[in-house]
Chain A
C-alpha cells in the first residue's frame, strides 16, 4: 500500500526553529525520531533528558540554553503551546474525516443543551439559585433550622445549663467570663461554630454536592463563559468562583487551575471582594429573607460590583483574552452515596478548620477585654460604621469579620436577633460585610499565592470599596427616603 506523505508535526515558527536546532544536535540512533526526542526535550521531559545525557553527554547544556530562549518568548508553558498546536491539527483532520449524523436527542441531551443556551440557561440558573440557595440554604437552613437549634436548643436549654455548670465548677469571675461570658468560649465561640455555622455550611455543601454530582458545573462554565470573558476570566473560572461560595480561602487555592497569571489575579481579587462565603451567604439570605426588596437590592449591588470591578481590572491589566476548552461529561441523576460522601468530607474539613479558630477568638477577645485592646479596636471601627449609618454595636461585627468572614456573619446574626437594625441598616450592613476584607485565612492565602504586595493591595482595595459602596447605598437610601 502506498501512502502519500509522512506527518511532520504541527509546530509553530519559533518553536520550529528551536526544534530544528535541537534536531541538528541529536544523533539518529534513538528509537524515537530526532524530532520526537527534540519535542520531548523541549517539554523538559526528565527521562528523555537522562537518555540523551547518557548517549550524548556534551550537548545537553547547549540544548538547555535553546530551550530557555524559547520559553522566554511564550506566555504559556511550552508543553501547553505544543498541546494547543496539536489539538488544532487534530481538529483539522477530524473536520475532514469524521461526520456525525444528527441523532434523535435523548432527554439528557436536551436538558444539557438548555442549560448551556443563554435564553433558557440563565432563567434555569436563576431557578437553581432561588430554590437551591435562597429557599433551601437561606430560608430553610439558615432560617428555620438555625433558629431552632440556636434559639430553642441553645439559648433556652443548653446555655443556662452551661452557665450554671461553669459557675459551679469555677469560682473565679474572670475565668467564668472566659468560659460563659458575653464572648465566652462556650457561649459565643462554640455557639457560633456549632449552632450557626455548622448547619448553614452543611446545607450549603449539600446543595453544592448535588449540583456538582449532576454535572451542572461544566455546563454553567459554558453558559457564563461569554460574560466572564468580559471581565477577563474564562468559563474555567466558574469552578473557583462557585467554590468561593463555599469558602473563599479554599477557592483562592483552586485559582491555581487557571492558566494565566492575569486570570489568577482577577479571580483572587473578585473572590476577596464580591464572593460571600457560605456562612456569610446563609446568614445574609436568612436575614434579608424577611425583606424581599432589600434582598434583591443586595444581590443587584453585589453583582454589579463583581462585574464592574472585574471589567475594570480586565481593562487595566494587560494580557490576552483567555481561551477556554472544557470537556462536558454526561448529565446524570446524582448518586446519593456520592452526595453524602462529598458533603461529609467538606463539612468536616470546614468545621475542623473553624472550631479551634472560633474558640481561639473567644480567648483573644477575653485577653483584649482585660487589656482594653478590644475596646480600642472597636473604637477604631465606630467612626466608619457610623458613617455608613449603622449603630455603634455593629463595629463589633466588622471586627469579627476581620478575623473571619463567617465569624462576622455570625455576629451580624446576633445583632439582628437583638433587634438593633432597621431594614435599611440591614441592607447596608450586608453589603458592607459581603464586600468587606477577606478574612485572615484568605488574606494569608492571598499572600501565599499572589505575593505580599498584591495580597496587601487587594485587602486595602476591598476595605475601601466595601465602605465606599456601603456609604453610597446608605446615602441614596436616605436621600430618596426609602425605608425597606
Chain B
C-alpha cells in the first residue's frame, strides 16, 4: 500500500530513542503488541497516553503532512506494548487531514488494541464512532474518561449493561488523577490474551 508509511513505521521502530529503552528480557523477538489511542479532541487522550507510557515518547510528523503522531512504549504486567496517540478524530469518515491520518493508522497499522477514549459526559455524541469501530472488526476497548465531571453532572452509566450491549470491554477513567488506570491495564492485558486465542 503506502510505501512511505511503512518506512515511517520501520524508522520509528528503529528510532534511537526507542532502542535506548532496555529490552524486555523475557520478550521474544516478535514485535511488541500495538495499542492505538483514538477519540475526539479534548477528551484527555494525551494524558491517558502519558499515564500508560512512562514517558518513552517519540513525536514524529506523519509522512507528507504536518500532523504529529506521538508514540511510546508501555510495560504492562511485564509485557511490552507500543502505544500510538493519534490526532483528534470524530468518525471513520474523515473530513480533516488529521482525521485522515488517524484513519490511515487504523487501516494500515494492524493494531492489537484500539482504545477509543470518549468524554463520559458526552457519551451520546461519541458512541456512534464506537459503533463504527466495532463494526469495522477492530479490537476496541471503550474508555469513558473524565468520569469525575460526568458524576458531577449527575450522569450515571451502567457499565455492565454497556459492555453487554456493545460486546466490548468498557472502562471508566479519570486520566488526570490516574483513577481507573489499573483496571484499564488489566483489560488491555486480558483483551490481548483473548485476542490471541
Q: Establish whether residues A103 and B154, one from each chain, have CB atoms under 8 Å apart when the complex forms.
A: yes
Q: Establish whether residues A1 and B169, one from each chain, have CB atoms under 8 Å apart when the complex forms.
A: yes
Interface residues of B in 110-142 (CB under 8 A from A): 110, 123-124, 127-128, 131-132, 134-138
Q: Establish whether residues A32 and B137, one from each chain, have CB atoms under 8 Å apart when the complex forms.
A: yes
Tell whether A110 is near chain B: CB-to-CB under 8 Å. Answer: no
Given A32-B137, A98-B155, CB of A3 within 8 Å of CB of B168: yes
Q: Inside 8 A of A90's CB, which chain B residues have their CB? A: 124, 127-128, 131
Give, as a whole number of angstroms, the nearest-CB distance from A335 to chain B.
Answer: 20
Give, as a whole number of angstroms, the nearest-CB distance from A218 to chain B.
Answer: 15
User: Given the complex of chains A and B, what is the CA–CA distance between A102 and B156 in angstroms?
Assistant: 11
Tell whether B8 is near chain A: CB-to-CB under 8 Å. Answer: no
Q: Establish whether residues B161 and A7, one from each chain, have CB atoms under 8 Å apart when the complex forms.
A: no
Which of B137, B155, B164, B190 contacts A4, CB < 8 Å? B164
When A and B form their complex, what is the total count of cross-chain residue pairs whose Cβ atoms lie within 8 Å? 103
Q: Establish whether residues A32 and B107, one from each chain, have CB atoms under 8 Å apart when the complex forms.
A: yes
User: Given the complex of chains A and B, what is the CA–CA distance between A1 and B167 in angstroms?
Assistant: 10
Q: Inside 8 A of B169's CB, which chain A residues have their CB? A: 1
Q: Establish whether residues B162 and A7, one from each chain, have CB atoms under 8 Å apart when the complex forms.
A: no
Q: Establish whether residues A3 and B135, one from each chain, have CB atoms under 8 Å apart when the complex forms.
A: no
Given A1-B190, A7-B134, A36-B92, CB of A31 within 8 Å of CB of B123: no
Q: Establish whether residues A51 and B1, one from each chain, have CB atoms under 8 Å apart when the complex forms.
A: yes
Q: Establish whether residues B1 and A54, one from each chain, have CB atoms under 8 Å apart when the complex forms.
A: yes
Interface residues of B in 131-173 (CB under 8 A from A): 131-132, 134-138, 153-158, 161-169
Tell whether A100 is near chain B: CB-to-CB under 8 Å. Answer: yes
Tell whether B29 is near chain A: CB-to-CB under 8 Å. Answer: no
Give, as a whole number of angstroms, the nearest-CB distance from B126 to chain A.
Answer: 9
Q: Establish whether residues B164 and A40, one from each chain, have CB atoms under 8 Å apart when the complex forms.
A: no
Q: Establish whether residues A31 and B135, one from each chain, have CB atoms under 8 Å apart when the complex forms.
A: no
Which of B127, B156, B167, B194 contacts A99, CB < 8 Å? B156
User: Given the complex of chains A and B, what is the CA–CA distance between A233 and B140 in angstroms?
Assistant: 40
Q: Establish whether residues A97 and B135, one from each chain, have CB atoms under 8 Å apart when the complex forms.
A: no
Q: Establish whether residues B107 and A31, one from each chain, have CB atoms under 8 Å apart when the complex forms.
A: yes
Q: Inside 8 A of B94's CB, which chain A residues have their CB? A: 47
Q: Establish whether residues A51 and B164, one from each chain, have CB atoms under 8 Å apart when the complex forms.
A: no
User: Given the complex of chains A and B, what is the CA–CA distance between A6 and B164 in angstroms?
Assistant: 9
Tell whether B108 is near chain A: CB-to-CB under 8 Å. Answer: yes
User: Given the complex of chains A and B, what is the CA–CA distance between A102 and B194 in angstroms?
Assistant: 40
CB closest residue in chain B, given A98 = B157
Give, as a whole number of angstroms, the nearest-CB distance from A85 to chain B.
Answer: 10
Q: Establish whether residues B157 and A97, one from each chain, have CB atoms under 8 Å apart when the complex forms.
A: yes
Tell whether A323 is near chain B: CB-to-CB under 8 Å. Answer: no
User: Given the complex of chains A and B, what is the CA–CA distance between A4 and B162 in angstroms?
Assistant: 11
Q: Establish whether residues B123 and A1, one from each chain, have CB atoms under 8 Å apart when the complex forms.
A: no
User: Given the complex of chains A and B, what is the CA–CA distance between A90 and B1 in angstroms?
Assistant: 34
Q: Establish whether residues A31 and B108, one from each chain, have CB atoms under 8 Å apart when the complex forms.
A: yes
Q: Establish whether residues B136 and A43, one from each chain, have CB atoms under 8 Å apart when the complex forms.
A: no
Given A7-B166, A43-B93, CB of A36 within 8 Å of CB of B136: yes
User: Given the complex of chains A and B, what is the CA–CA distance between A4 and B166 in angstroms?
Assistant: 9
User: Given the complex of chains A and B, what is the CA–CA distance between A33 and B136 in angstroms?
Assistant: 5
Q: Establish whether residues B167 and A6, one from each chain, have CB atoms under 8 Å apart when the complex forms.
A: yes
Q: Establish whether residues A40 and B93, one from each chain, have CB atoms under 8 Å apart when the complex forms.
A: yes
Q: Establish whether residues B162 and A6, one from each chain, have CB atoms under 8 Å apart when the complex forms.
A: no
Q: Inside 8 A of A100's CB, which chain B residues have their CB? A: 153-156
Tell whether A479 is near chain B: CB-to-CB under 8 Å. Answer: no
Give, as a whole number of angstroms, the nearest-CB distance from B143 to chain A.
Answer: 15
Q: Inside 8 A of B136's CB, which chain A residues have their CB? A: 32-33, 35-36
Q: Inside 8 A of A79's CB, which chain B residues have their CB? A: 93
Q: Establish whether residues A4 and B161, one from each chain, have CB atoms under 8 Å apart when the complex forms.
A: no
Give, as a whole number of angstroms, the nearest-CB distance from A79 to chain B.
Answer: 7
Tell whether B106 is near chain A: CB-to-CB under 8 Å. Answer: yes
Q: Establish whether residues A32 and B138, one from each chain, have CB atoms under 8 Å apart when the complex forms.
A: yes
Q: Establish whether residues B106 and A10, one from each chain, have CB atoms under 8 Å apart when the complex forms.
A: no
CB closest residue in chain A, given B91 = A83
Q: Establish whether residues A5 and B127, one from each chain, have CB atoms under 8 Å apart when the complex forms.
A: no
User: Given the complex of chains A and B, what is the CA–CA distance between A8 and B132 in angstroms?
Assistant: 10
Q: Mark B91-109, 1 if CB is under 8 A from A, else 0.
A: 0111000001001001111
Q: Establish whether residues A94 and B131, one from each chain, have CB atoms under 8 Å apart when the complex forms.
A: no
Q: Establish whether residues B93 and A33, one from each chain, have CB atoms under 8 Å apart when the complex forms.
A: no
Interface residues of A in 144-177 (CB under 8 A from B): none
Give, as a whole number of angstroms, the nearest-CB distance from B62 to chain A.
Answer: 14
Q: Establish whether residues B190 and A36, one from each chain, have CB atoms under 8 Å apart when the complex forms.
A: no
Tell whether A9 is near chain B: CB-to-CB under 8 Å. Answer: yes
Tell whether A315 is near chain B: CB-to-CB under 8 Å. Answer: no
Tell whether A182 is near chain B: CB-to-CB under 8 Å. Answer: no
Q: Inside 8 A of A32's CB, which chain B residues have their CB? A: 106-107, 136-138
Q: Mark B59-102, 1 if CB is under 8 A from A, else 0.
A: 00000000000000000000000000000000011100000100
User: Given the complex of chains A and B, what is the CA–CA distance between A90 and B162 in angstroms?
Assistant: 11
Interface residues of A in 309-353 (CB under 8 A from B): none
User: Given the complex of chains A and B, what is the CA–CA distance between A86 and B164 in angstroms?
Assistant: 18
Given A3-B168, A7-B135, A35-B135, CB of A97 within 8 Å of CB of B162: yes
Q: Establish whether residues A97 and B190, one from each chain, have CB atoms under 8 Å apart when the complex forms.
A: no
Q: Inside 8 A of B154's CB, which chain A residues have their CB? A: 100-103
Tell whether A96 is near chain B: CB-to-CB under 8 Å. Answer: yes
CB closest residue in chain A, given B168 = A3
Tell whether A45 is near chain B: CB-to-CB under 8 Å. Answer: yes
Q: Establish whether residues B92 and A93, one from each chain, have CB atoms under 8 Å apart when the complex forms.
A: no
19 contacts between A and B (CB under 8 A): A7-B134, A7-B167, A8-B135, A9-B131, A33-B137, A35-B136, A36-B132, A39-B135, A43-B93, A54-B1, A86-B128, A86-B132, A90-B128, A93-B127, A93-B166, A94-B127, A97-B158, A97-B165, A100-B155
Which positions in B face A, CB cutoff 8 Å? 1, 92-94, 100, 103, 106-110, 123-124, 127-128, 131-132, 134-138, 153-158, 161-169, 190, 194
Beyond A31-B110, A98-B155, 20 additional contacts (C-beta under 8 Å) are A32-B107, A35-B135, A36-B132, A36-B137, A47-B94, A54-B1, A83-B128, A89-B128, A90-B127, A90-B131, A91-B124, A93-B127, A93-B162, A94-B123, A94-B124, A94-B127, A96-B165, A97-B123, A100-B155, A101-B155
Top 3 nearest A-B pairs (CB, nearest first) are: A33-B137, A36-B136, A101-B154
